[in-house]
Amino acid sequence: MCQLIEAIKVENGKFCNIDYHINRMKLSSRRLYHRDCDFNLTSILIPDKYIEGLVKLRIVYNLSIISHTFENYSIKKIESLKIIRDDWINYDLKYEDRSEIINLYSKRANCDDIIIIKNGLVTDSSYSNLIFIKGNDYFTPDKPLLMGTKRQKLIDEGKIKTLSILEKDIKKFDFVLLINSMMDLDNCPIILTEQIYN
């Protein structure tokens, strides 16, 4: 049976964005296994050594939670991105098997991370959703590989808008931000679009 993962931010002993994570887990299990599952994440106890600071809770699950681990988290320094094209990649659910993405990431050359282009459209980086900034406007690709929980929360709050972004349009923006469940608008990597390479 295929396994899925969920990565949840724990900040100073508090689970963040928990409703969005539970919702995605339920939708994913329903879609993949055709069953409704009840995931009670609040019953997971945080070990004392992870009560303070920024911590990642990693859950492996299918029809039920298989395992969970905690680890301290630090945000990577990302200053450059390489464009990688792949029209066949599929990561619409958060699978534990990330081999396709790891393979694309290995082609980044001297850059810190990648931007994956599928059928001419901008999707995601290797581990995060993208937000493009032009002036005071924030846009996220409307066809990401994975519908991230942080991305959805920011859309629901009206802080970002979805937009179909073609590869050729990348340099029309000033900056690109990398967000995921661990990284919000106030602590994520910010990259100048001139630091995005073919």
Co-location of 65 and 143 in the same domain: no
Specify the pLDDT at position 165. 98
Q: Domain ends where: 72, 94, 115? A: 72
Instruction: Quote the CA–CA distance of 101 and 117 in Å, as a whole number.
Output: 12
User: Parallel, antiparallel, or unpaired for β 161-163 and 137-141?
Assistant: parallel
CATH number at residue 59: 3.30.470.10
Co-location of 51 and 85 in the same domain: no
Co-location of 52 and 89 in the same domain: no
Q: Please name the residue that has the structure tokens 């993949």.
A: 32
Specify the pLDDT at position 121. 98
Q: Which domain holds residue 15?
A: 4-72
Co-location of 24 and 113 in the same domain: no
CATH number at residue 180: 3.20.10.10
Print pLDDT tens along the chain (198 aa).
789 999 999 999 999 999 999 999 999 999 999 988 888 887 899 999 999 999 999 999 999 999 999 999 999 999 999 999 999 999 999 999 999 999 999 999 999 999 999 999 999 999 999 999 999 999 999 999 999 999 999 999 999 999 999 999 999 999 999 999 999 999 999 999 999 999
Specify the pLDDT at position 14. 95
Specify the pLDDT at position 38. 84
Handedness of CA 185, 95, 17, 157 (dihedral sign): positive
126: its two tokens: 């290797």
Co-location of 32 and 59 in the same domain: yes
In contact, 100 and 91? CB cutoff 8 Å: yes
Co-location of 58 and 103 in the same domain: no
List of residues 6+ apart from 119 with CB closer than 8 A = 87
Co-location of 27 and 104 in the same domain: no
Specify the pLDDT at position 43. 84
Specify the pLDDT at position 59. 97
Q: Please name the residue that has the structure tokens 């929360």.
A: 153
- Note the pTM of the prediction, 2 decimals: 0.95
Co-location of 148 and 87 in the same domain: yes
* Total number of domains in the chain: 2
Co-location of 89 and 187 in the same domain: yes
Specify the pLDDT at position 37. 87
**C-alpha 57, offset from chain centre:** 14
Specify the pLDDT at position 42. 78
